[in-house]
Amino acid sequence: MGEDLTLLRDGLIRMLEAYGFEVVAAVDNGPDLLRELIARRPDVAIVDIRLPPTHTDEGLRAALAARAEVPGLPVLVLSQYVERLYARELLADGRGGIGYLLKDRVSEIGEFVEAVRRVAAGGTALDPKVVARLLDNRERVLPLDRLTPREREVLAHMAQGRSNAAIGTALFITEKAVAKHTNNIFAKLGLQSSDDHNRRVLAVLAYLDG
C-alpha cells in the first residue's frame, strides 16, 4: 500500500485486516512503494497518486514502473484526483486487475472491500465519476459515437467491472438484454469473436480512449 496520510493509511490497514486481508507493506513515498511492490509482488497494490517526494504523480509512476517489472500486477488507485492519461496507461496492456476509486466517494466499506477483491482477481473497478471524467472529451469520435444511449450505459457499467447480471440489476433490464447489448457493443467496436473477458477489456479501453 502507498499512502502518505498516516491516519488514512492506518485506517485502511485495520479495515483490510478486519476483512481477512494481509497487508504485507504500507509505505508513505514513491521510491519505497516501487521497491516493495517489486520485492513482495502483492496480490493487489492500493496506491495514492500523489506521494512524496514530489507530491505530484509519484505513486502512479511507481505503480506503472512496478507493472513493467511484474507484468499484470493488480493495482487499485485510491485518490482524490482523476488522471485520464494514467487510467489509460494502466489499462493499456490488458493484463492484471485495475481499479480507480475516489477517496471522497468511497462511503460503503463493503463496496470498497469488494472492489479490492475484484481487482485482485484480475477485474476492474472504476468509480462512475472517474468514468465520466475520462469521457469528458469534446473531441471524441467514432466508433463510440455509433453506440446507442443504452449501449453507452451498459459500457459504462462494464467499465466499472460489473458482470452482466449486475448491469441488468442496475439498469432494470434482464441479463439476456444485457448480453444482447454487449454483443452489439462488440460488433460496433469491431471486436471479433474471441474470449469474452478479453473483448470486455478491449471495449473498456475503447471507451476510455474515446
- Burial annotation 148-186 (CB, 10 A radius, 16+ → b, else e): eeebbbbbbbbbbbbebeebbeebebeeebbeebbebbb
Query: Could you tell me if residue 139 is inside a domain?
Result: no
> Using 50, 70 and 90 to split pLDDT, how confident is the model at 135?
low
Does 21 map to a domain? yes
Q: How confident is the model at residue 152 (pLDDT cuts 50, 70, 90)?
A: confident
Domain CATH number, residue 150: 1.10.10.10
Q: Over the chain, what is the mean pLDDT?
A: 81
Residue 106: pLDDT band with limits 50, 70, 90: confident
Cell reading at 4: 502518505
> Do 81 and 176 belong together in one domain?
no
3-state secondary structure of 166: helix
Query: Are residue 79 and residue 164 in the same domain, yes or no?
Result: no
pTM above 0.85, yes or no: no
Cell, residue 133: 471524467
Domain boundary pick from 134, 163, 193 = 134
Residues 130 and 150 in one domain: no
Closest C-alpha to 200, from 161, 171, 152: 161
> Which of 90, 108, 134 lies at the terminal end of a domain, its last residue?
134
56 with 103, same domain: the answer is yes
* Whether 45 and 16 share a structural domain: yes
Please name the amino acid found at residue 48: D
Pairing assessment for the beta strands 124-126 and 98-102 based on DSSP bridges: parallel
Which residue, of 134, 156, 181, is where some domain finishes? 134
Domain hosting 149: range is 144-209
Residue in the block written with cell 484480475: 122
User: Is 1 part of a structural domain of the chain?
Assistant: no
Q: Are residues 80 and 177 in the same domain?
A: no
The band of 192, judged by pLDDT with boundaries at 50, 70 and 90, is low
Does 153 reside within a domain? yes
| Stretch 168-180: mean pLDDT | 92
**Per-residue confidence at 45, pLDDT binned at 50, 70, 90?**
very high
∠ at Cα 37 (120, 157), nearest 5°?
30
- pLDDT, tens digit, 9 for 90 and up, residues 108-122: 888 889 889 988 988
Residues 176 and 190: their CA atoms lie apart, in Å, by: 21
Lowest-confidence pick of 33-37, 93-97, 134-138, 187-191: 134-138
| Residue 131 vs residues 5, 24, 102, 159, 165: alpha-carbon distances, Å | 26, 30, 11, 8, 20
Cell readout for 103 is 477517496
